Structure 1
Amino acid sequence: MEERIQEKLKILADAAKYDVSCTSSGSNRKNDGKGIGDTGSGICHTYTEDGRCVSLLKILLTNYCIYDCAFCVSRSSNDIKRAAFTVEEVVSLTMNFYRRNYIEGLFLSSGIFRDADYTMERMLRIVKKLRLEENFHGYIHLKTIPGASEDMVTEAGLYADRMSINLEMPTEVGLKLLAPDKSHTEVKRELGVIRAKTVQFDDERKLIKSTPRFVPAGQSTQMVIGATAETDRDIMQTADQYYKAFSLKRVYYSGYIPISTDNRMPIIGTPPPLIRENRLYQTDWLIRLYGFDVQEILNETHQHLDLDVDPKLSWALRNFHLFPIDINTAEYRLILRVPGIGIRSAQKIVAARRFGKLRIDQVKKIGISYNKAQYFIRCVDTPFQLNERDEQTVKQLILRTSQSKYLKNQFQQLSLF
């Protein structure tokens, strides 16, 4: 590889690491045997030490940018090394890395140089060259440029597997504070275009089988958490609204990393605790997959998530009067709400109890986290006094057990050495 390309790659791959929304599952693009690569049912990921996904060739087209967003390392006022790939260089890198089995696909984002359409046109040329000239069938995740024309966004959707556009801040107030040139209105417009075109193409495919698939892996967005003063409730309400309005596949929550010296940014000596990110993702799962409403988890009384325990356990402790439930008669939706019981375990419980009443040992074998669940369920042989606790006592018992297990695991790992 030429030294000039290596230098560009070093700069633009490093600049892209702050974008966490690089999921690669959900597409089913088929290879007819004449092309290169295959998305299959998704791509396996590897992660760096800071938890960033690196399974794709994850780069910016350029880190030149006309915007001066306070939280962004590529902002126009920041004194950093700048670089820009040509269309041909990105195509060549992708194909060469794929043939060497370094990557399984491409994640392409960009700063905005000159204007949105100028940048989007070059990104469109890249994905078209990969698909039409290189016959590349691997995974492509394309970041949409805010303000780009509807025609270019629509055409890009015919070649990309997933598209996304960053919401940046959870609220318009926070966005205007740190990125006054950007607007949630532009984000909504482009998310709306992709949503409408997806529905249109799906409807046409029901009549004409040869209709191409449009963004088959769906669309996503990302929010920076901790740079502005939004509560966890504000964040999750925004996420819920976008899920419902635009049928997003995922919302990503990126904890603010103090990489900027801009005086608009909060002064933080150390990065915010990653546990907040984790709790937001757990809440996101409860809303998308477990049937919870945002207001059940976060409301006027509880505007922030409990960092000590996961949001499902926190909700159960606040609603302790609803428990324990009888594991042998409770509805599936109630079993899902028991701390320590996941979707698969709940399904197994419902299937298993058709053959007889479930006992404690049987429920444990199903794979639930019994250390948590035991305070919220009754089996046939559950001792009556087991559930006679108050919520604060239960919380302390669970935390004590979790800490004990953690210390035991640490001791076992140390003993290996």
Structure 2
Amino acid sequence: MAIEIKAPSFPESVADGTVATWHKKPGDAVKRDELIVDIETDKVVLEVLAEADGVLGAIVAEEGATVLSNQLLGSIEEGGAAAAPAAAAPASAAAAPAQAAAPAAAPAAAAGDEDAIGAPAARKLAEENGINLASVKGTGKDGRVTKEDVVAAIEAKKSAPAAAPAAKPSATAAAPVAAAGDRTEKRVPMTRLRAKVAERLVEAQSNMAMLTTFNEVDMTEVMALRSKYKDLFEKSHNGVRLGFMSFFVKAATEALKRFPAVNASIDGSDIVYHGYADVGVAVSSDRGLVVPVLRNAEQMSLAEIEGGIATFGKKARDGKLSIDEMTGGTFTITNGGTFGSMMSTPIVNPPQAAILGMHNILQRPMAINGQVVIRPMMYLALSYDHRLIDGKEAVTFLVTIKNLLEDPARLLLDI
């Protein structure tokens, strides 16, 4: 019985997807809930799992093909995996006469009877690792191959490629070697995610009156608070670590309450003011920049913010972020300081009206009360849509964040 493999149902915000990677080839055995194919959309990579045990049949949508919601990708022949050994038996039997001259000491192996060659655990392990059971020397009773014999064969297989070049120096010498200074090029297709990011960045700069204002914040108090309580914080909140991002999210949500235009968006000829702060946190992944959203961040504690960010970071690295987790957002924070950036002008993520850029913390000489002292300083950048936010609002918003961070007690006292 053939079971259809279909693309997932895409949400309204995603028009189509691209077949990124088939993890199985036609004829390969598959197990229920095993990953078969990845579908890459503009926002995330969706995984398609097998609905039953069997064998992968024909592939209808090859890698690189554009597919729509619920479009047919291929099929699974249910129960095909169990039938495969039986189908192979006649071929083995036909080969037996040709091996009649083989020594009588190994009749089981000559007949291709795997039950006589190895134990069930050994057969399974050999099949999973592409090992020909008949080629493994058995150390068990009557020469049967044990699981330990297969493990030894796997290790030998792994080490074989490394030893091969040394065994054939002439072949290595004959291989073409790129000369120093060669102008090599490599062309690879842009992923849908990166293409979509590029499209939105160009769209933002083309359709928005974007402007950036800067300020700097003395991180002395935040760093002292973090240093004093980080161990107790982690112990009290089940391993959640206290970082700097939670302070910035907390300060930003407080500032957004005071300056609602920064948290607003433009919809046609209307301004939409949001009575909540869904803060997007820009995260770098192997597939490109993604921005998962902390919903109702204004109601979250420092521990909840840090826990949410840690979860998003892990999901981004594993490619497990869902479309819902990256949809929406009323304001975004990006931290270029993670990579050592000292200054940048972040680009607003439409339809949002503003984005806050954090940067590297550097020890710099500062004039404090008429004296030069060394302080840990960070530059802040706020890019905003000048159609919606006036310069005075943007500057005051950034100063509010600066004041809240330089005196964190303000966050508790709401002043």
Structure 1 length normalisation: TM-score? 0.21
Structure with greater contact order relative to length (CA < 8 Å, sep ≥ 6): 2
Structure 2 length normalisation: TM-score? 0.21
Greater percentage in helix: 1
The higher radius of gyration belongs to 2
